[in-house]
Every structure is written in C-alpha cells, then in structure tokens.
A = this chain, B = another copy of it.
Amino acid sequence: MSAPPVEISARDNPLIQRLRKLTQDPAAYRKLGQVWLEGEHLCSALLARGGRAQQAVIARSAWMQRPALRTLAEGALRCAIVEDKLFAQLSGLESPAALGMLIETPAAATPQSDRDTLVLDRVQDAGNVGSMLRSAAALGIGQVLALKGTAALWSPKVLRAGQGAHFGLRLAEGLAPEALAAMGLPLVATSPHAEAVLGRHPLPRPLAWVLGHEGQGVQPALLQACALTLRIPQPGGEESLNVAAAAAICFYESQVRSRA
C-alpha cells in the first residue's frame, strides 16, 4: 500500500459521496472516470489478471477480523476503512460485501477482426449482459462490442453478473452500427424466421455473433448487414429463448461443437 489507511465514518465524506453515485447510477463511471468493483470475487479477479486498484474500501469489521480481505485491501494504492453500517448502505447487494475497489475506467478497446466476437445490440437487462460476458469469456469469445443503447458494461449489476469475465475480454461500448462494418468480421445473427439452422450450417471463422434487444431482437438494418442468419431449433414449440440463453447456445456451437 502506498499510503496509510484512512478511517471514514461520515456519510458526507467525498469518497462516500463518490461511491454513492457509482452504486446508484449505472453509467456514472463514464463521467467520474472510475469503476466500482464490489465484493471479494470481483476484486480477486482484477488482481488475478494483474490489475491494480486505485482505492480499496473495506468495512471495519472485515479489516479487523478477515485477514484475507485485509490483504486484498492493502494491495491497493490507497485504502479506506469504513464503518460497517456505512458500507452496507452503499451496497447494492442483499448480503452486502465487506470489500470493494475503485479502478480507473478501462479504456475502450479498438475493435479487431482477429478473434471471435460478440456484438450486443441494445441488450437492456444488466443480468443478461453480465451473463453473456461470462459465457463469452468461458467459451472463448475474446471480444465484446456493445452498440449504443446496451446496458452500461461497467455498471455494478453487469459486473456482478459477469463474475470477473470483464477482465479477460476486449471490451468496447457506445459503438455505432457502422463501426461493425469497418471491423470486417462476418456478422452472424439468430432469428426464429431464418431458414438456415444452427448446428447444420457451417459457420465462418472468426465470426461475430450479434445478439439483440430482449423484446425487439436485432435492429433490421443490422440484421440486413449480417453475412448469415440462423434459427436455433426449438423442438418444444413456439416459445422463445432468453437472449443470454440463446447466446450461450450460439457460443457452444461455434466454439465447441462445430470444432469437435
């Protein structure tokens, strides 16, 4: 640790006010330039990837009684020890964590055409987005490009659902659909109306899977720009799949099954 820990008990402390903004407004990290990682798992995932936090925030009881969390906190450039009750008020979790870290908002990656990619077209639900990042990281999709209108990738809820996947992916967000054409990867989308069937049709490599808005699907202009549109067979009938479930199936097919 570069500086001795400071103790905070006041609700109007500037750091606490900053954390309150970051936990309450999903996109506040864009303005404030810092991302809030809550919980031991996310903080450990950051460190496992060689990242370093600008600021650790630890609940007093954890500082006193949980040496593993204290060690994590001491690895940050600065450390603040916060009253348990104050920490709990900040938390978005039902069981509040006792440790969090602030990192500099990661710079957006420049889209590259050398790896399998996931394109998020206005996916709304933070849990869905986080689950998709997690599936991407586990199944070997190395890059995720979020178009404007998608849930903020570094928001607390997406981070929580991503379970650390963020740190192993190339990420960019706020992109316009035109940026995808410039990238040059063949775009592949799913649609219940497509004739080609997932699992029976060859897939381009590398490829970019395009997954769309929960209610509306992929926007029409983007669907038209796709090199391939596939139908996921649904032997159960006309029910549709959750977008994150559909993404997992697509990744499994392209990264595992069609290469077996």
Contacts and interface: CB of A to CB of B under 8 A. Distances in A.
Interface of chain A: mostly helix, strand, loop or mixed = helix
A109 B201 CA distance: 39
Contacts of A239: 134, 137-138, 163-165, 168
A55 B236 CA distance: 30
Contacts of A62: none
Interface of A: 127, 130-131, 134-142, 161, 163-165, 168, 199-200, 232-237, 239-242, 244-249, 252-253, 255-257, 260
Query: Which interface residue of A141, A168, A249 has the most chain B CB atoms within 10 A?
Result: A249
B248 A235 contact: no
6 contacts: A134-B240, A163-B240, A232-B252, A233-B256, A252-B252, A252-B253
Contacts of A240: 134, 138, 163
B161 A260 contact: no
Query: Which interface residue of A127, A136, A248, A260 has the most chain B CB atoms within 10 A?
Result: A248
Given A239-B165, A252-B252, A256-B233, A135 B245 contact: yes
